[in-house]
């Protein structure tokens, strides 16, 4: 005698619900209470109405929707980070998350605050590179009140309700750059050193400047650090800033590029025949900075792994979802000093 296969009616009867409810649960349509969903899926499993793989898929919660907000006209390193998010989805699959990237106009705090509010309503978590601004801080507070956690990335946001920061100790990074320059130039030499930042609207750049200045003041007071210039991580702006520095200070000994746009500085040094005379230290390993290290225009750079940064953000959001300690399994961001001879 042929055994009749179970149907939706049998699942509905065992789960004590209507066939319409079973249909909604199995097709993952909204509007059914969690307890009812579990009851229907349990009944479907007991009756072997669904194949085991399909049952596991139905039982799995929907993936977390995570958004990474990055500046659109900023360093190539940040663009690389965005590419890691987009093209490494298989790495995030074990965490049951789906990651997206949104680019925002660089150095526009109002636009960033608006995007945080607008996109936050559709996300389970946001990682972003913040600007120090009350509007951004207020947007983060509003998201926290709505139950949407935020993680600051690369640069932190002071006095905010973000749940974690993923990035370098930027004061230590600035001190490291100063130490490298002093050793390259010669610690006993009286020399002029210049700094070019992206923008001090980024706390990271402000902290790197502070660490840089403090180390020179403490250990190399004979060196003169010139006033900081802002290049807004733009290659052409950094090119013009460097040409102006070289014109004003014929005895310039070193340049510290705090943010992006290193290729503009390198181009200016080469045009003026100073690429092997002026010490050049910066941040972020990209195809452009790699080329500058190889041809000797750049002497050293301080790097952090974009893949590790994104992975840390994903782990943090997964920890919050699973009610674990926020930083459980999250490694401290490590800096790597890269020279021409140890290029990875």
* CATH top class, domain 170-303: alpha beta
Q: How far apart are CA 191 and CA 225, in angstroms?
A: 8
* The predicted structure's pLDDT at residue 74: 60
Same fold, 8-59 and 64-167+306-333: no
H helix or E strand, kind and range, residue 175 = helix 170-185
- Give 259-284 pLDDT, tens digit per residue: 999 999 999 999 999 999 999 999 99
Is the Cβ–Cβ distance between 269 and 295 less than 8 Å? Answer: no
Is the Cβ–Cβ distance between 302 and 283 less than 8 Å? Answer: yes
Identify which of 105, 100, 101, 102 has the alpha carbon closest to the alpha carbon of residue 72.
Answer: 105
- Give 179-230 pLDDT, tens digit per residue: 999 999 997 788 999 999 999 899 999 999 999 999 999 999 999 999 999 9
H helix or E strand, kind and range, residue 127 = strand 125-128
Identify which of 46, 12, 5, 14 has the alpha carbon closest to the alpha carbon of residue 26.
Answer: 12
* The predicted structure's pLDDT at residue 34: 73
Inter-CA distances, 234 with 58, 111, 163, 196, Å: 48, 19, 30, 11
CATH superfamily of 8-59: lambda repressor-like DNA-binding domains (1.10.260.40)
Residue ranges of the domains in the chain? 8-59, 64-167+306-333, 170-303
Tokens at 337, concatenated? 């000093």
Q: Residue 20: left if φ>0, alpha if ψ -120 to 50, beta else—which one?
A: alpha
In which band, very low, low, confident or very high, does the pLDDT at 56 lie, cut at 50, 70 and 90?
A: low
Rg (CA), the chain: 26
> Looking at the predicted structure, is the pLDDT value of residue 133 above 50?
yes
**What fold characterizes domain 64-167+306-333?**
Rossmann fold (3.40.50)
Q: Residue 260: left if φ>0, alpha if ψ -120 to 50, beta else—which one?
A: beta
| DSSP, residue by residue, 187-246 | TTS--EEEEEES-TTSHHHHHHHHHHHHHHHHH-TTSEEPPPEE-TT-HHHHHHHHHHHH
Q: How far apart are CA 98 and CA 84, in angstroms?
A: 13
> How do beta strands 150-153 and 336-338 pair?
unpaired
Q: How far is CA 163 from the centre of its chain?
A: 14
State mean pLDDT over 29-47: 82
Give the alpha-carbon dihedral of 78, 234, 172, 250, to 10 degrees: 150
State mean pLDDT over 31-53: 80
> Looking at the predicted structure, is the pLDDT value of residue 2 above 50?
no
> Looking at the predicted structure, is the pLDDT value of residue 3 above 60?
no
């Amino acid at each position: 005698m042929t055994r009749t296969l179970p149907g939706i009616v049998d699942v509905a009867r065992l789960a004590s619900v209507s066939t319409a409810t079973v249909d909604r649960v199995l097709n993952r349509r909204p509007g059914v209470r969690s307890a009812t969903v579990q009851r229907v899926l349990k009944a479907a499993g007991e009756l072997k109405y669904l194949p085991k793989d399909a049952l596991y898929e139905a039982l799995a919660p929907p993936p977390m929707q995570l958004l990474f907000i990055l500046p659109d006209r900023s360093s190539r390193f940040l663009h690389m980070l965005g590419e890691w998010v987009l093209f490494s989805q298989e790495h995030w699959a074990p965490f049951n998350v789906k990651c997206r990237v949104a680019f925002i106009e660089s150095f526009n705090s109002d636009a960033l605050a608006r995007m945080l509010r607008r996109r936050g309503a559709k996300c389970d978590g946001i990682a972003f590179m913040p600007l120090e601004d009350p509007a951004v801080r207020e947007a983060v507070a509003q998201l926290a009140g709505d139950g949407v956690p935020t993680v600051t990335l690369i640069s932190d946001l002071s006095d905010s309700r973000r749940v974690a920061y993923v990035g370098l100790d930027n004061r230590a990074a600035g001190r490291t750059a100063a130490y490298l320059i002093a050793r390259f130039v010669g610690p006993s030499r009286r020399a002029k050193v210049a700094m070019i930042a992206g923008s001090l609207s980024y706390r990271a750049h402000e902290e790197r400047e502070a660490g840089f200045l403090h180390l020179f003041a403490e250990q190399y007071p004979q060196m003169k650090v010139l006033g900081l210039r802002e290049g807004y991580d733009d290659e052409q702006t950094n090119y013009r800033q460097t040409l102006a520095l070289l014109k004003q200070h014929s005895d310039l000994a070193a340049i510290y590029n705090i943010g992006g746009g290193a290729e503009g500085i390198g181009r200016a040094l080469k045009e003026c025949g100073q690429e092997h005379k002026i010490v050049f230290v910066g941040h972020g390993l990209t195809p452009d900075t790699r080329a500058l290290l190889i041809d000797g225009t750049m002497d050293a750079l301080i790097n952090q792994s974009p893949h590790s940064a994104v992975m840390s953000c994903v782990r943090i959001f997964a920890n919050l979802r699973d009610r674990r300690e926020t930083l459980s399994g999250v490694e401290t961001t490590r800096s790597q000093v890269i020279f021409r001879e140890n290029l990875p």
